[in-house]
Structure 1
């Protein structure tokens, strides 16, 4: 054949048909448990294995009801992606008709919310059920540019028979995740799709660049909202005696008085006016502000007591830490990076040095600056329960780790060596699995969430 599955991203249009035939052979052999002519790309192989374990039918997928019009509209109105639709349209639809593409925007569940572009391709998409309200997650339709990007939280191009479902083999799609710049939460995926002949190796970089532009626009909108809150809060704080700060509904600080500035305060999922205990501030009183909260810190110390910490990484896309003690309980949703770091600390209760964590995260013990910066962010909401030199949970805290029953489902987005080793832990095989051995994923480089490079304090 002359090409391996790894070469797909470098193919010219002249090679598309030959590559499609090769990938069809690879898919058929792999799903039959036979030796494939060449191995699939690691991102595709990992996805196929997840889909096989989930029981998706490679011929028809898993039937999922299409959302009704009212539910689609509700999700559209609730989605922050609605704010950046003009950016996505300008960046992607300007050439969609010429290139015979359609643009699809899906939410974090893989549900299609918006779909626009070349009319003839839209009709072909209808035949595949690729329509508003459809479930395009891996658990419904297998490997694809939307669902696989949702799981891996990385841009991915899926070509021809790299799709898990046979009816999708005449299709090519390229998706990139869009995350909330405020907290790293996955908002959804923007995808460019079309017939096989529309495949171009530059599409992946193009879609990723537009997704990053959309995230930048969301960041600008957030900064503007903080400025509006600051204008309201500053006169109030100037008249107060004691320690207080104004934060938006996500905990980002707009103004502060009587205490050191901190960029963000961890807030409970359902904060209400009155007295409460906040993870990083202790006892506080909370009052509503337009677009946020006025938080006054109480002078009484927080009583010490037994603490129970639950780190939950069972879900493939959402992870949390919950702290319970004498002053009540609170939960915090974790970013992908923080979920990885806290998992590594939970399974290494004796602690990890910065260099050991750097090796666990990036296979590079020298990358301690990045580790220290991330641990500094974690300590903003969990600092009372962590030690450093080495980093570890306090001995007095009872730590409960909730992880998937099958180790292969652990933090599927993660490329951290410490996590990928855990995925290969001995397990019982209870369902279909790939005949090919898993290929370890190699980190392609860390992209820090911010420029902070804090040191241990």
Structure 2
């Protein structure tokens, strides 16, 4: 008989006790390795497998130390989530209170920074360890609506015995990650939780919609800040010769002179007051501070400076892919989005290159998705000027490539469902597969 999985609407249609028994049976089968006609939902099953590999005890409630109040306040001040709290409150708190839920906002480390909603449920949350400053990372407390969306990078609903740890089975939760559109960083997760009897299949859709509104608010603030920087920089640029541009702290251009507008510049996290800096998209540049950003002037004397001669693709840290380029002009490092990490991983394995159709098959399992691949590769090539070639897509022939993988094969881009990555995990491609790869013979 073909295995099936049950969706949230199906669970909601059941009697609560019946749904709990069903999910406990599915969980027990998965934990014991027994075959079951009903499988966990995909996000839940993937989470359980991660936790089984990590050795988390499914019957023991683990908790880390609560952050001190001063550290909670510091994280609140520094978090971009603070800017969108009004949007989150307006969209979720009233609905949460009416449904006997609470809204929880956590940072990218899984630490709870804000929580609001039903007073009765807040008290239940206290007993549950769902308190300010608590650590709700998946690898510590198991499958849950805070930690699991941070790993999966997508909205996840977790109900009753879908929680990996049995002490959480009287709880239901739905969480969605928030990404800062200004720099692409995952900045946290918004979760709506409550007693198991309060589950509703539409909760996840509501949480997801409100997080999209929050991201839109950050985007609008970004556009306003760029416009303000443009008003300051435009008169200055008009008096300069050569190629120059004004960018905000995240590298987004506000005004340009002497060249076509580039995409976002990948700036180091700290420029320490400016100076001379090598940027992959432009070469050697002079950097000077501006109110709200930086003045970038391309050094024409070094315009012919060769591109980076070495690229290190570091996938050793789960969910923190990074590429480091180095050459005669210096070095530069940047964290990668999940999609760009997948593409560079495939290209690092295939030094002879891949066509758009081949990359579409490698990443999406669908060779017809070439438009998406070409758009992503165009963005990558702008970021890594001179490092990536095309027709076919590949690392440039004179670039030495080193690929650093994780110790455990299962930790290779754990968010990824790309066929190329799944094949690598299945064959045990971890630290043993990777190493330095010399420049390709031209």
TM-score scaled by length of structure 2: 0.93
> How far off its partner does 1:306 sit?
6.9
**Helix, strand or coil for the counterpart of 2:51?**
helix
Q: Which residue in 2 is equivalent to 1:296?
A: 297
CA distance in 2, matches of 1:29, 1:386: 47
CA contact (8 A) 1:25 1:37 kept: no
> How far off its partner does 1:314 sit?
2.0
RMSD: 1.7
Q: How does 1:232-243 map to 2 (within 5 A)?
A: 232-243=232-243
CA distance in 2, matches of 1:134, 1:400: 38
Q: Which residue in 1 is equivalent to 2:188?
A: 188
Unaligned runs of 5+ in 1: 429-457
Moved more, 302-311 or 199-208: 302-311
Q: Which residue in 2 is equivalent to 1:255?
A: 255
Unaligned runs of 5+ in 2: 431-442
Q: Which residue in 2 is equivalent to 1:436?
A: none
Q: Which residue in 2 is equivalent to 1:351?
A: 353
Equivalenced residue count is: 426
CA contact (8 A) 1:268 1:332 kept: yes
User: Residue 284 in 1 paired to residue 285 in 2?
Assistant: yes
Moved more, 316-325 or 289-298: 316-325
Q: How does 1:265-344 map to 2 (within 5 A)?
A: 265-272=265-272, 273-300=274-301, 301-304=303-306, 307-344=309-346
- Deviations 1:386-427 (CA, angstroms, capped at 9, x unpaired): 110110011211111112122211112122222222221247
Q: Which residue in 2 is equivalent to 1:367?
A: 369
> How far off its partner does 1:5 sit?
4.4
Q: Which residue in 1 is equivalent to 2:70?
A: 70
CA distance in 1, matches of 2:183, 2:409: 27
CA contact (8 A) 1:283 1:302 kept: no
**Helix, strand or coil for the counterpart of 1:100?**
coil
User: Residue 127 in 1 paired to residue 110 in 2?
Assistant: no
CA distance in 2, matches of 1:415, 1:37: 24
CA distance in 2, matches of 1:33, 1:293: 56
Structure number with the bigger relative contact order (C-alpha 8 A, sep ≥ 6) is: 1
CA contact (8 A) 1:56 1:62 kept: no
**Helix, strand or coil for the counterpart of 1:122?**
helix
**Helix, strand or coil for the counterpart of 1:145?**
coil
> How far off its partner does 1:64 sit?
1.4
**Helix, strand or coil for the counterpart of 1:384?**
coil
- Deviations 1:8-37 (CA, angstroms, capped at 9, x unpaired): 343335433211111112212322333345
Q: 2:384 aligns with which of 368, 371, 382?
A: 382
Q: Which residue in 2 is equivalent to 1:158?
A: 158
